[in-house]
Structure 1
Amino acid sequence: MEISIVSKEVVRPSSLDVHLLKPFKISLLDQLTPTTFSPLILFYPMRNTHLKGTQISTQLKESLSKTLDRLYPFAGRVRDNLIINDYDEGVPHIETRVNTHLFEFLQNPPMELLDQCLPYPPFSYQPNPDQVPQAAVQLNIFDCGGIALGLCLSHKIIDGATTSGFLRSWAANSRGACHEAVTYKNLSESSIIFPPQNPSPNHHLSVMEKIWFREAKSKTRRFVFNAKAIASLRSECKGERVSNPTRIEALSAFILKSVMLAPRSTANSRFVLHQAVNLRRLTEPRLSTFSVGNLFLFASAAYNMEHAAEMELHELVARMKQAVGSINREYLKILHGDESFPKVCEYIKKIEEVSTHKNLNAIISSSWLKFGFNEVDFGWGNPIWSGISGEFGSFRNLTIFKEIGSADYDNAVEAWVTLD
């Protein structure tokens, strides 16, 4: 399979008024988030549309330009790890041709080729944040007319919920349902709750970069857990302290246990699971998905190898639940406002402490189950599948859970597991 680039251009906001807007303040949590691209690839067969490749490309670019009028931070660049400005820098847009049929490609998606559908290397450390676009698009058109829409979103200001809001708004503009697109005006709520520090807290950012990235060879594998397998794992995870484990808790425990029992583990090994916790659901009132920024914290649970063989799945889940439960509404109130910086520093110090071990095996876990990525309709129906990437760059061990979105796999979950 060959992917050939046909064109490269930049999509900018359609309204000139956007360039008159004030710089967008990023939040303290954004300042402490390393710069890397989160990928997503949406596959559409295009069977129920008369649109050709050039028409699809034009429709996507025009609707994206309109979307950037409202979600203008996506068009800018980060400056001094404090603000986003220069909204005329825009969103890179690449168009390619793929010399195979979409369904042939999807019969057994080649992991190593997924990255070629993306405009930038995914999950790789970006050392020059001021040069990094907040979003980039690659439209891949197959011989049959089907498409793969490859997206790279900068994690500097964009988490999973922000990505969901952006895609829903862009798709609504594309299919002519402008009333469903974003009309939300207060995009900067996160920087109000977590005010940025000036000068930038670069020392604490470097700590997070060490936790996120490492130079090591890794492999990514995709595992599919059907409803029956998930139900069996959930039953196995029940215990005295865990009455009703969730799908993600059961799958996380199963994967963690498998890693702990891998042959390379030693008696001195230590395992830490960092689980991303969405803060939007904990705020009062609940924040919109159109609040631009990283509104999540890691709940960290540590496990020593000497107890690994004896620990049952329900014991692993109980420790996970305890860690996640500590990030609650009361804890979030402590982090709010002008006094948030010292409290957030304490949070980072705790993560650093549990991550400091000679034989450390840290795993970052993130659930994309409720972001609706399989329901993004640009006017030609929902995607038949969504992929992530073939390689996860220099990112530390990472597990991402997502729904398959196929009627043949009802309630099934994909686990994209990267391990070094």
Structure 2
Amino acid sequence: MEVAVISVESIKPSSPVHHLKPFKLCLLDQLTPASYSPLILFYPTNDAHLKSTQILTQLKWTLSKTLTPFYPLSGRVKDNFVIHNYEEGVPFIEARVKGHLSDFLQHPQMELLNQFLPCQSFCQQPNPTVAQAAVQVNMFDCGGFALGMCFSHKINDGITGSSFIKSWAANARGSANEAIHPNLSDASSLFPPQESLPSHYTSLMESLWFSKRRFRTRRFVFDANAVATLSAKGRSKLIQSPTRVEGLCAFIWRSCMNACRSISGSTRPSVMSQAVNIRRLTKPRLSRYSIGNLVWSAIASYDPDETEMRMQELVALVREGVGRINSEYLKKLSGEGCTAIYEHLNRLAEMASENPDVFSFFSWHTFDFSEIDFGWGKPIWVGIFGKARRDSPCDSNFIILKDIGKNNGIEAWMTLDENIMAILEHDLEFLAFASLNPCIVMETNKVFCSLEE
């Protein structure tokens, strides 16, 4: 299957924004390395009379309209302090796919997903002034299309990116009243940017985020029964009702630790980090639609011995780590007192010096990507990306959890050291709950196609 780029242009805000003041990054933005997070929405042909030119025209116009309130996404970073030059716009790529959407979904090669994206994802961007967002519309011969999007992590966390996509979709389907108006000042007010940010800490963050090891990406699906069973396995007197995410995170973390033990033949410390949205935890609460990297990593560490690692214990560690991020903790981190943030980074550096196995978890289950309707119905499938690059430092050992429609199943998109992944792919205990790249099922419960490799 061939993907050919037909045109590239820049989409700018529909209303003048050149006169607006530079957008201040928050301190958490400044510390976040430049890399792209991807998303691909696959839409079948629902209207035989709808031409690709109509789809492209509508997407371009409404993207321009959406960029007006989200104008920082149209600019470029300057000196890791502000975003300006809003007239630069968002790259918009039109591509043609030789083949049919159904054929691709019947026998997809996961690495082909990267061809549907406008940027290299989850890898270090050497140029800090890259676009804050980019779009690629891939039109299949059958009329179906894949909408590939990339969002720079410099100001986009999951909430920011999903808010933008939902607002764009609302404008596209003619529901402007449902469009989101973001808050552009909360983040920099709570975490003021530092004009003289020590370069030591930006370098430290890059070293913690990126690695040049060889990684492999796989999509595993845990159906509703598997998720419920794993949650039940995590029950204890301390935690009687683990959440779906807690049970699944604990299971995946344990499986990865077992794989590491098999590789090294010994035990060493393991660290799990989980991204936590802090908007709802501050006092007073921040706006739900505040732009910026308003997340903090909940850390759980485990020093395994030769005994079996118990799910209940790991679930407790996961909840304890998340529970430490509360309003009082965030109060210490915010305001002009950035010392607490620097102290946290110093502790992370000390932890990293012990060379633990680190696994980072990101939960996208609240973003409702499978519900995004641009006016042509909901996506038949939501993909992320195919594989990590081998010629550039990339995010290391990370797991993205994403809901599957409305059936309470969860997809785990796992990018792990290739030696760890090689063991998981053949781990019978892991595969008893996780299906490797199984068939896609539409909301009607009709099997659409087979995704077996």
Give the TM-score, by structure 1 length: 0.95
Could you say what secondary structure the match of 2:237 adopts?
coil
Q: What runs of 5+ residues in structure 1 fail to find an aligned partner?
A: none
Contact 1:221 / 1:418 at 8 angstroms: preserved in 2? yes
CA RMSD of aligned residues (A): 1.4
1:367 is matched with 363
2:318 is matched with 320
Q: Which aligned segments of 4 or more residues in structure 1 are displaced greater than 3 angstroms?
A: none
2:425 is matched with none
Q: In structure 2, what is the Cα distance between the partners aligned to 1:165 and 1:365?
A: 21
Contact 1:165 / 1:289 at 8 angstroms: preserved in 2? no
> Which AA in structure 2 matches 1:6?
I
Q: In structure 2, what is the Cα distance between the partners aligned to 1:292 and 1:395?
A: 22
1:40 is matched with 39
Contact 2:46 / 2:377 at 8 angstroms: preserved in 1? no
1:412 is matched with 409
1:13 is matched with 13
2:215 is matched with 218
**2:202 matched to 1:200?**
no
Contact 1:5 / 1:95 at 8 angstroms: preserved in 2? yes
* 1:72-151 alignment, distance < 5 Å: 72-130=71-129, 132-151=130-149
**2:378 matched to 1:379?**
no
Contact 2:280 / 2:288 at 8 angstroms: preserved in 1? no
Q: In structure 2, what is the Cα distance between the partners aligned to 1:350 and 1:313?
A: 27
Could you say what secondary structure the match of 1:129 adopts?
coil
Q: In structure 1, what is the Cα distance between the partners aligned to 2:289 and 2:153?
A: 15
Deviation at 1:168, TM superposition (A): 1.0
Q: What is the percentage of aligned positions where both structures have the same residue? A: 53
Which of 341, 344, 351 is the aligned partner of 2:341? 344
**2:309 matched to 1:311?**
yes
Q: In structure 2, what is the Cα distance between the partners aligned to 1:404 and 1:161?
A: 18
Could you say what secondary structure the match of 2:353 adopts?
coil
Q: In structure 2, what is the Cα distance between the partners aligned to 1:188 and 1:296?
A: 16
Q: What runs of 5+ residues in structure 2 fail to find an aligned partner?
A: 418-453
Could you say what secondary structure the match of 1:20 adopts?
coil
Q: How many residues align?
A: 411
> Relative to structure 2, which stretch is displaced further, 249-258 or 30-39?
249-258
Contact 1:242 / 1:318 at 8 angstroms: preserved in 2? yes
Deviation at 1:268, TM superposition (A): 4.2
* 1:260-339 alignment, distance < 5 Å: 260-262=257-259, 263-306=262-305, 309-339=307-337
Q: In structure 2, what is the Cα distance between the partners aligned to 1:122 and 1:367?
A: 17
Aligned CA distance change for structure 1 residues 177 and 336 (closer, same or farther; 3 Å): same
Contact 2:282 / 2:326 at 8 angstroms: preserved in 1? no
**2:380 matched to 1:388?**
no
> Relative to structure 2, which stretch is displaced further, 173-182 or 88-97?
173-182
Deviation at 1:105, TM superposition (A): 1.4
Contact 2:181 / 2:289 at 8 angstroms: preserved in 1? no
Deviation at 1:361, TM superposition (A): 1.3
Contact 1:300 / 1:351 at 8 angstroms: preserved in 2? no
**2:171 matched to 1:166?**
no
2:184 is matched with 187
Contact 1:5 / 1:96 at 8 angstroms: preserved in 2? yes
> Relative to structure 2, which stretch is displaced further, 309-318 or 1-10?
309-318
